Structure 1
Amino acid sequence: AAVSLGITYEAIQPHLRIPEAKGRSIIVRKGISGLLTPGGIQSQAFVLNDITNQLIFEKELSDRILLSDVFGVAVFDPQGSLVIANRDVHDFCRANAISLDGRDRFMEGLTPFIMEKGNEGALFDEWLQRTPITVSLTKPDKQYLKVDISTLPVGEKQYSLFILTNITKLKEVEILKGQIVSIVSHELKTPMTNIMGFSEILVEELEGEMKHFAGIIQEESVRLTKFVNTFLDINRIEEGRQQIKMVPVLLSDLLEEAALTLSPLAEKKGIKLLVQKAVLPVSVSADRDLTKQCIINLAENAMKYSPPNREVTLQIEETADTVRVNIIDQGYGIRNEDLNNIFEKFFRSSSEETEDIKGSGLGLSFVKEAVEAQGGRIAVTSTYGLRSTFSLVFPKAA
């Protein structure tokens, strides 16, 4: 009705004649008499239209929240006050002593239950970048929730929307699968160690063609042992069993140590390995051994996927609020369509140049899990056929 009233006025406006007295300014009528003019009617019609749209939106939002088949939904207004939440949210907050008295207090209450590291004390905008997050609750029963966070525009205002989905069954299957794989991997570990040891003895004792065959056995057993160990490392991190020792770490030291470890491989491949330190010493809060392993993995990959006589650079870069360890190569690069998948387990980017290069597809997956477990993240840029840059990104130490 309000819209129709406004449209009707627009249609008849050209035909209206409002008399004006010569030499006198028009006096704007106020109050009821002002509202009864054509202009007043149109103005109030548009106000009524805006209010109607707002009410319709709020009704649809309320219905969607209260009748939702997901576990729970909570909406907070731009000031952070709770607008609405369904019964399941109230129940699980009450059981786990999580406050709904404001968005920030709700986030603070969720933080101890978050499985992913790095959300401690984080602001809402940082949670938005890391969504979804996984929450593990013990009351009233053991359950896992996926929390999707987004902003909800209402007119010119931005509301905060939290959608919680119960993923307990999915998570339990995932954990069981990981446990089975872990058991199988452990069973492989002992015989592979024996094969590796015996093949090393054979390489030293045998001559000619037999020595060559023993060398192949040794090389493949080393590769398979590394595969098993990497898989077990990923599994430990995913299940939260990996002990993370966060200490101040001087990154320049890690780069020097990684370069020293990798120098024989660089020499064998004909790669020039460079280290570019920051002007001033830079430290971050991280697990020293885990971070060093991440740098070594990325640098090994850079050399593996680079032709001979190229450079691989280990570089420290500071921004306003982060510190980045960049591993820059002049290798084969990665196709754009593969960039979103390279951190998935067992994924390998395919190209003519790299199809004969051996690899498990686990190295980058390990790096991603390891750096995220420390509250950091991994980033990559690549130009196919020219270069790639992998970056370990850490928040600056306070």
Structure 2
Amino acid sequence: MAKERILVVDDEPDVLHVCERILTSDGFNVKTVSSGFEAVQLASAEKFDLLLTDIKMPGMDGLDVAEAARTVNPHLVCVTMTGYSTMDTAIEALRLGIEEFIIKPFMPQDLIAAVSRALEKEKLRQESARLRALMPLFELNRVFMSTTDVPRLAQQVLSAAASELKASRAVLLLCEEPQSSSENPGPYQTYASFDVANQDISAWARAASGICDGEAHVVLDQGNAADLLREIGAATIIAVAIKAKQGTLGALVLAHDDPSSRFSESDVEFLSVLCGQASVAIENAMLFEELRQAYEDLKQLDYMKSEFISIAAHELRTPLAILMGYAGILEGMVPAELKQYASIILRNAGRLRALMDEMLNLDALERGTSLIRLEGIDLASLVRDTVEDLRPLADTKHQTLSLELGAGNVRLTTDREKFGMVLANLVSNAIKFTPEGGQIAVRSREVPGGIEVEVQDNGIGIAEGEQDRIFERFYQVEDSLTREHEGMGLGLSIAKGMAELLGGRISLESELGRGSTFRFTVPLAPRL
């Protein structure tokens, strides 16, 4: 049912009565007066949505009534009734923005139709004005979302609000912590201000203290906050909450110093949409800052770890070399029954040296200090030599290590040491994770633009969810406290880094419980 309030003005009592009956029966809230002067007085004292007035009345005609009433209520819809009209009257009515004419006598449905059309026109006009007012927000949203610095973003939001509403002064306040309770948010800190730089900000914070999770905005005027307005020196203030998922982030507070200026409903709507956009942008900027700081902390930790690895590996090499030297001398001097102990020392010292070499190789890759020494090499010889070097390791586990050299007499220009290191890491990794009696096959072949070496095993395999991480530093599929296989989890990471350094790549196919296939490709010559 319609709830609009309609003021009817006519000097004929019968017309007033008929209009009141027709409009009331259709659900409108109707008041009637019989003179233009009464109509202007009532329109000044009460808010009406539509004025229905006769044009020809003694004392003050309907067009004068409409003009006077609209000085008080600019959005008042006006419909005129007349039994006769002239061209001058019609032109004057158009100038005043009269929405509809009704010619006397009229049928009830004619009156209802005219009033409904006039109200609908005003709704469409207001909606059009609202959309035009909101259009700048689309461009502002793009600007907000591209800003990751919170103070700069706050100033952009504040400037947009103050400019659009022509506010005398404004501040944007953010809570030190997002407020999720129903209590008043705070304490606030100032992130941006407009023409309040030298003023105590605490009064502005108190103006925003009425905003809580259940209330999106507050409007302060002489009727509800005279003392606070006097302290700030403003005629009226509006505070709008900036809310995010986790609660209230802060508030946008604007003031008019001119007593004739007021914040309208459209202003409230504009600020609500603006603060909604601002909340998302501010939240994103805060998250970005947290991520940036976390990234910087991680970089520092990573640097410290790399420095530790580099220093530790270098400092251990000298005492380890001395240890291996004297252990080798002892192995040749002690009786046969004691040689096994010297051999154990040498074997484990060799393992420690291999671990230090891995750490140094990784450190060089990360620092970008690895040098490539190019030379022409025979692919078959290099692959065969690498496999034969590792065959004793496979024999200790009774594994079958086969070699298929399908590439023929291929020569390539690359770094022999690094190529051998990549292949050795892949083969030793296959031996390590293939159970006793398992099978490992190494195959080489020529592919367009380069060569490919494949290492296939029927070992434990790698789960699909782990395959993206298998080349990360120190990453191992097994838990560090319960794993059965030795190593620091650097071999595959080094292999990948060395392969890329040579202009190649490593790929993986694996199925849990059925084994893995690693493919290593490099160009026949470096790409310059």
Q: TM-score, normalised by structure 1?
A: 0.53
1:201 to 329, 354, 357: 329
For residues 209-220 of structure 1, the aligned pairs below 5 Å read 210-220=338-348
Which of 143, 159, 181 does residue 309 from structure 2 map onto?
A: 181
- 1:67 offset after TM fit, Å? 3.1
> Which of the residues 423, 432, 444 maps onto 1:304?
432
How far 1:336 sits from its partner (Å)?
2.8
Task: For 2:516, give the aligned amino acid.
Answer: S
Let me know the Cα RMSD of the aligned residues: 3.6
Report whether the alignment pairs 1:252 with 2:380. Answer: yes
1:375 aligns with 2:503: yes
Deviations 1:38-60 (A, max 9, x none): xxxxxxxxxxxxxxxxx99x958
Cα shift at 1:68? 5.0
> Take 1:205 and 1:247, find their aligned partners in 2: how far apart are those partners?
42
Aligned residue in 2 for 1:145: none
1:365 matched to which residue of 2?
493
Q: Residue 348 of structure 1 aligns to a residue in which SS?
A: coil
Within 5 A, what are the aligned runs for 1:274-313?
274-313=402-441
Partner of 2:358: 230
Aligned partners of 2:458 and 2:516 also within 8 Å: yes
CA–CA separation in structure 1 for the residues paired with 2:493 and 2:435 = 23
Counterpart residue type for residue 415 of structure 2:
D
Aligned length: 248
Larger radius of gyration: 2
Q: Deviations along 1:116-145, whole A, 9 cap, x unmatched?
A: xxxxxxxxxxxxxxxxxxxxxxxxxxxxxx
Q: 1:270 matched to which residue of 2? A: 398
Runs of 4+ aligned residues of structure 1 deviating over 6 Å after TM superposition are: 165-170
Where 2:390 maps in the other structure, the secondary structure is helix
- 1:67 paired with 2:195, answer no
For the 8 Å contact 2:407–2:446, the answer to whether it is kept is: no
Is residue 347 from structure 1 mapped to residue 484 from structure 2 by the alignment?
Answer: no
**Distance in 1 separating the partners of 2:348 and 2:434:** 22
TM-score, structure 2 length as denominator?
A: 0.41
State the shift of 1:228 in Å. 0.7
Q: Distance in 1 between matches of 2:515 and 2:485?
A: 17
CA contact (8 A) 1:246 1:374 kept: no
Give, in whole Å, the separation in 2 of the partners of 1:201 and 1:269: 30
Alpha carbons 1:230, 1:363 under 8 Å: kept: yes
How much has 1:313 moved relative to structure 2? 1.5
User: Is the 8 Å Cα contact of residues 284 and 394 (structure 1) preserved in structure 2?
Assistant: no
**Any idea what the Cα deviations from partners look like across 1:283-326, whole Å, max 9, x if unmatched?**
55532210111111211221222233333221124444553211
SS at match of 1:244: coil
Q: Separation in 2 of the partners of 1:379 and 1:273?
A: 21
Query: Residues 364, 62 of structure 1: CA spacing in aligned structure 2 closer, same or farther, 3 A cutoff?
Result: same
Distance 1:328 1:289 in 2: 22
The correspondence of residues 45-56 of structure 1 with structure 2, limited to 5 A, is: none
| Amino acid across the alignment from 2:322 | N
Compared CA separation, residues 64 and 254, structure 1 to 2 (3 A)? farther
Q: Deviations over 1:120-176 (max 9, x none)?
A: xxxxxxxxxxxxxxxxxxxxxxxxxxxxxxxxxxxxxxxxxxxxx998886576445
Which ranges of structure 2 fall in alignment gaps of 5 or more residues? Answer: 1-134, 151-291
Measure the CA separation in 2 of the matches of 1:372 and 1:300.
Answer: 20
Selected match of 2:461 from 325, 330, 333: 333
C-alpha change, 1:211 and 1:277, in structure 2 (3 Å) is closer
Higher relative contact order (CA 8 A, sep 6+): 1
Do 2:433 and 2:459's aligned partners in 1 also have CA atoms closer than 8 Å? yes
Partners of 2:407 and 2:361 lie apart in 1 by 34
Partner SS, residue 269 of structure 1 = coil
**3-state SS of the aligned residue for 1:63?**
helix
Stretch moving more, 376-385 or 200-209: 200-209
| Contact 2:457/2:517 (8 A) holds in 1 | yes
Contact 1:276 1:314 in 2 (8 A): yes
CA distance change for structure 1 residues 171 and 376 in 2, over 3 Å: closer, same or farther?
farther
Query: Who is 2:99 aligned against?
Result: none
What's the % identity of the aligned pairs? Answer: 30
Q: Which moved more, 1:173-182 or 1:367-376?
A: 173-182
State the shift of 1:63 in Å. 3.1
Are the structure 2 counterparts of residues 250 and 63 from structure 1 closer, same or farther at C-alpha, using a change threshold of 3 Å?
farther
* Contact kept in structure 1, 2:380 and 2:408, CA below 8 Å: no
Given that 1:271 and 1:310 are in contact with CA atoms closer than 8 Å, whether structure 2 keeps it comes out as: yes
> What is the match of residue 442 of structure 2?
314
Structure 1 distance, partners of 2:140, 2:324, is 65
Equivalence map 1:69-84=2 (5 Å):
none
Q: Which range moved further: 277-286 or 252-261?
A: 277-286
SS of equivalent to 1:367:
helix
1:273 positional shift: 2.3
For 1:4-19, what aligned pairs fall within 5 Å after superposition? none
Matches within 5 A, 1:27-46: none
Work out the CA distance in 1 between the residues paired with 2:459 and 2:425: 16
**Does the 8 Å CA contact 2:407/2:445 hold for their aligned counterparts?**
no
> Distance in 2 between the 1:396 and 1:59 partners?
53
Counterparts in 2 of 1:297 and 1:60: CA distance versus 1, 3 Å: farther
Q: Secondary structure of 2:520's match?
A: strand
* Aligned equivalents of 1:386, 1:209: Cα separation in 2: 44
Distance change >3 Å, CA 357–CA 66, structure 1 → 2: closer
Which residue pairs with 1:191 in the alignment? 319
Partner of residue 356, structure 1: 484
Looking at structure 1, the residues matched to 449 and 439 of structure 2 have their Cα atoms a distance apart, in angstroms, of 29
Whole-Å separation in 2 of the counterparts to 1:176 and 1:220? 28
Quote the Cα distance in structure 1 between the aligned partners of 2:422 and 2:139: 50
